[in-house]
Amino acid sequence: MFDNDLVAAKLRRWEKYLERYRLPSWEDIPDIGLYMEQVVVVLKQYLDYLPPELKEEQFITAATINNYVRNKVMPMPVKKRYYRSHLAYLIMICSLKQGLSISLIQKLIPNNLPEQELRAVYDAYIARHRLASQYFSQQVNLAAGPILRHDAASPLASDRPEDMIAASAVVGGFARLLAEKLLLLEGLHADAPEDGQ
């Protein structure tokens, strides 16, 4: 059984946090050639909205980053140093990994983009990340209306945290399926027959 007052307080804190949270701008990402240990520290700071209590293992590790390089998800470091472009890739990869497989992230963000093109992709990504964060926060506020004690207009509104948990899991699953289906359309022609799914 959940304590609705505790849930409401947590939701309000998270909403305030998401209102202030921003991924770093291109200019704010260091371009001085960081070593792996420094990269891990910087990424954990940039992606601190990923809750540590829900992770069984560290989300950002040297081994994980090395795998991304080895599997060509991102460019290789330059003499064991990571620059702005590497960090931009890692920020996008780590935040997208919450909803997409690494193979689909590779389709979305090619690992060999020239710096100017990567900057445009990154700038668009952080703007979209911000908008999605705001939209998500608004939808949670509507769905939690009875818990937060305000009039809610969402059909998903409930005074039971269990209902919010189930709805969040279902919406997350549908969102992942949509992203995957759209990514799988890459390279298909508009006149290709639809499979109904």
Q: Along the chain (197 residues), what's the average pLDDT of each consecutive run of 10 residues?
A: 90 89 96 96 86 59 94 96 98 92 91 95 97 92 90 84 92 91 74 51
Is 51 within a domain? Answer: yes
Domain that holds residue 128: 4-184
Is 197 within a domain? Answer: no
pTM of the predicted model as reported, rounded to 2 decimal places: 0.86
Is 171 within a domain? Answer: yes
Q: What local confidence, expressed as pLDDT, does residue 57 receive?
A: 54
Q: What local confidence, expressed as pLDDT, does residue 49 receive?
A: 73
Number of domains in the chain: 1
Q: What local confidence, expressed as pLDDT, does residue 100 receive?
A: 92
DSSP the chain: ---HHHHHHHHHHHHHHHHH--PPPGGGS--S-B-HHHHHHHHHHHTTTS-GGG-SS-SS-HHHHHHHHHTTSSPPPBTTBB-HHHHHHHHHHHHHTTTS-HHHHHHHS-TT--HHHHHHHHHHHHHHHHHHHHHHHHHHHHHTHHHHTS----TT--S-HHHHHHHHHHHHHHHHHHHHHHHHTTT--TTSPP---
Is 193 within a domain? Answer: no
Is 195 within a domain? Answer: no
Q: What local confidence, expressed as pLDDT, does residue 58 receive?
A: 66
Is 93 within a domain? Answer: yes
